[in-house]
Structure formats: structure tokens, C-alpha cells
């Protein structure tokens, strides 16, 4: 069993899969893609390569504390936090071909992409299978396809070992199975209880602030704050929509029929999507600018200093404000505009 786990965790399986897909490291002249990758990698902090090398060889590398403190909960938060608790490195290159560099400074176990690719389609399937009329087998097939393709893509890009991906899927499967019986009660609380918005917003902020301490800066804490704060904003939007009756309720009982695709329906869908994207894009730009300026002023740093944005007292508050507001914009403002435009 130990040998199997070592093999699943090792980079050799990743390199073999990449080779099967036509990827391999060039041993002679560097391609333009390699030059780009190397140039981009130079923009990463020097400590990144040192920490990953140290993790694979078992040697410790000292680093300055970047001001973070420990923390905990939700599927994506659990995945991101687990990385910085376990501190398992991503597959090394060589033998693996690295096709991404932005998140290479993060640790790898478990794969949060695999977790998302399991959680999103399967929770969607479970939430809609008794509410809408469609073949369950087709929904299951699509959910499996999404989970499989996204998970394999993380191995293909050289970002995760096979064990990272399998553990991400397994953790999510357990969490979904455990939480499924409580979904209706949670939704009812989220829509009706007067303290639900306060609880959602405060929890999302606390788990962001108390994110596990990092031994070197990476995008993990910021990305996690984006995810959980958007979730807190979405919870607030759900409460607002119900309390103020902003979303019309149908008088018919489920399961509901799904309308056949037609040219007018496709046009409406396209218009709703385009308008929603424009609203969210503009809102994000405006809210981020205001939040970043305000937080930096309170923290006594310049909003144009990129290094200052990595500080705990700056990174978490401005991202929290931005994405909590976007959760409300996406689920309350956008539908209101669609209704106003009769879309």
C-alpha cells in the first residue's frame, strides 16, 4: 500500500501521462514557449523554487513570516487550507512539463480544481434531479465527464500528482454525501433567518483572516478569500431576494419542464449572459478600486505598491469587500436588470 501511495504521489506518473498526450521536455534548443515560461518564472519570488526544492529533498528553508495566522471551513476553503497545512509540493520539473506558472508557488495536495470539478456538477445534479424533468443518466454522464476532464487537465498541465487529484475527488465526495441531507434546512435558514446574512458574512471574513500561516507568499490566501467572500455575498443576496420578494415564484409544483432550444430563447440567453458579464466587470473594477484605496489608506501603504497588497491587513480586507459585493451584484442586481429589460 505504501508503495502504491508513493507511486501515485510521485512525478513519474504525471510525466508518463504527459508523454502519452504528446508533451515532453526539450533537451536541446529551447523553444519560444520555454523562453516565455522561464521569463515568467523569473517574476516569481526566488523563495518559490527554494521551497519546492526543499520540500522534495526534505531540507527546511527559513523564511520571513508574512503576517498570516492559522484558520478553517467550506469545500474550496478546506482544499486551499489543506495545501498550506500539508505542504506537499507540486510535481517537480524535470521530469514534469510545467504548463502553468501563476500558481506554482502554491502547494499541491489536494487538487482544488478536482474538488471544484466534483462539487459543482454533482451538487448541481443532486439539487436539480427532482426539480426539473431531464434524464438522470444524461446528467450523471455530464457530471462524470466534467469531473474527469478537469481532473486529467491538472495532470496534463503538470500542476498535480495523481494522488493530489484522487484525494481532491475523494474529499469532495465525502463532504457532498455528508452535507446532502442538510441542504434543504440550510437553504431555508439562509433565506428566512434574520441573522443569516450576518453569520454568512462574518464567517467568510473570519475564515479568510485566519487562513493557515504561509511559509512563503502565494496566491492561495487571496484566491481563497475571493471564493469564500463571494459565497458570503451570494448568501446575502439569497436572503435579500427572498425577504424582498425580488424573484418571482411559480405557482406550479416541481418537477418543471425544460423549454426546447429555439432561436429566440438562445438570443435571450446570450443577451442575459452578455449584460450580466458587463455589469459584473464594471462593478468589479469600481468596487475593487474603491476598496483597495480605502484599505491601503487605513493600512498606511500605497495602493500602487504591489508588495503592500500581499500584506494580510491589505490583501484579505480589500478582496473580501470586492467579492462580497460582487456576490450581491451577480445574484441580485443582474437579475433585477434582466427583469427590467424583460429578459
Domain coordinates in residue numbering, the chain: 1-24+32-43+74-192, 196-245+262-343
pLDDT at residue 27 tops 80:
no
Band (58; pLDDT cuts 50, 70, 90): very low
Q: What are phi and psi of 132, to 5 degrees?
A: -130, 155
H-assigned helices in 129-219: 136-156, 162-179, 183-192, 196-209
Grid coordinates belonging to 294: 480605502
**Enzyme catalytic residues:** 113, 160
Given the C-alpha cell 491589505, which residue does it identify? 314
Answer with the residue of higher pLDDT: 72 or 233: 233
pTM greater than 0.85 (yes/no): no
pLDDT in tens, 126-170: 999 989 999 999 999 999 999 999 999 999 998 899 999 999 999
Q: Provide DSSP, 250-284.
A: PSSPSSBPPPPP-HHHHHHHHHHHHHHHHHHHHHH
Lowest-pLDDT choice from 6-15, 50-59, 120-129, 221-230: 50-59
Mean of per-residue pLDDT scores for the chain: 82
pLDDT in tens, 95-129: 888 887 777 777 888 998 999 999 999 999 999 99
Average pLDDT over residues 44-70: 37
pLDDT in tens, 276-319: 999 999 999 999 999 999 999 999 999 888 888 888 899 999 99
What 3-state DSSP class applies to 132? strand
CA distance 18 to 20: 5
pLDDT at residue 38 tops 60:
no
* Residue 245 Ramachandran class (φ > 0 left, ψ -120 to 50 alpha, else beta): left
Grid coordinates belonging to 257: 419542464
CA distance 200 to 194: 11
Band (260; pLDDT cuts 50, 70, 90): confident
Grid coordinates belonging to 11: 512525478
Question: What is the structure's pLDDT at 49?
Answer: 41
Band (74; pLDDT cuts 50, 70, 90): low
Question: What is the structure's pLDDT at 36?
Answer: 40
Amino acid at each position: 500500500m505504501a508503495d502504491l501511495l508513493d507511486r501515485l504521489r510521485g512525478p513519474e506518473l504525471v510525466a508518463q501521462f504527459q508523454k502519452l498526450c504528446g508533451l515532453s521536455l526539450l533537451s536541446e534548443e529551447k523553444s519560444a514557449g520555454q523562453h516565455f515560461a522561464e521569463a515568467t518564472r523569473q517574476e516569481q519570488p526566488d523563495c518559490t523554487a527554494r521551497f519546492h526544492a526543499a520540500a522534495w529533498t526534505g531540507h527546511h528553508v527559513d523564511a520571513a513570516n508574512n503576517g498570516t495566522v492559522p484558520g478553517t471551513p467550506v469545500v474550496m476553503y478546506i482544499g486551499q487550507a489543506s495545501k498550506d497545512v500539508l505542504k506537499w509540493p507540486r510535481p517537480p520539473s524535470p521530469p514534469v512539463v510545467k504548463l502553468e506558472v501563476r500558481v506554482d508557488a502554491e502547494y499541491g495536495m489536494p487538487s482544488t480544481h478536482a474538488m471544484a470539478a466534483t462539487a459543482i456538477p454533482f451538487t448541481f445534479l443532486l439539487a436539480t434531479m427532482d426539480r426539473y424533468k431531464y434524464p438522470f443518466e444524461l446528467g450523471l454522464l455530464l457530471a462524470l465527464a466534467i469531473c474527469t476532464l478537469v481532473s486529467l487537465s491538472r495532470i496534463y498541465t503538470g500542476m498535480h500528482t495523481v494522488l493530489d487529484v484522487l484525494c481532491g475527488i475523494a474529499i469532495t465526495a465525502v463532504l457532498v454525501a455528508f452535507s446532502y441531507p442538510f441542504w434543504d434546512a440550510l437553504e431555508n435558514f439562509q433565506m428566512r433567518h434574520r441573522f443569516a446574512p450576518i453569520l454568512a458574512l462574518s464567517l467568510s471574513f473570519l475564515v479568510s483572516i485566519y487562513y493557515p500561516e504561509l511559509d512563503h507568499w502565494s496566491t492561495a490566501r487571496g484566491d481563497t478569500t475571493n471564493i469564500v467572500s463571494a459565497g458570503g455575498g451570494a448568501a446575502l443576496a439569497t436572503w435579500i431576494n427572498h425577504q424582498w420578494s425580488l424573484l418571482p415564484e411559480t405557482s406550479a409544483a416541481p418537477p418543471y419542464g425544460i423549454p426546447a432550444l429555439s432561436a429566440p430563447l438562445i438570443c435571450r440567453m446570450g443577451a442575459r449572459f452578455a449584460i450580466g458579464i458587463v455589469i459584473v466587470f464594471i462593478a468589479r473594477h469600481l468596487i475593487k478600486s474603491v476598496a483597495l484605496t480605502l484599505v491601503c489608506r487605513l493600512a498606511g501603504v500605497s495602493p500602487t505598491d504591489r508588495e503592500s497588497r500581499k500584506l494580510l491587513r491589505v490583501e484579505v480586507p480589500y478582496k473580501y469587500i470586492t467579492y462580497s459585493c460582487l456576490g450581491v451584484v451577480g445574484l441580485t442586481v443582474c437579475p433585477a436588470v434582466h427583469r427590467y429589460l424583460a429578459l
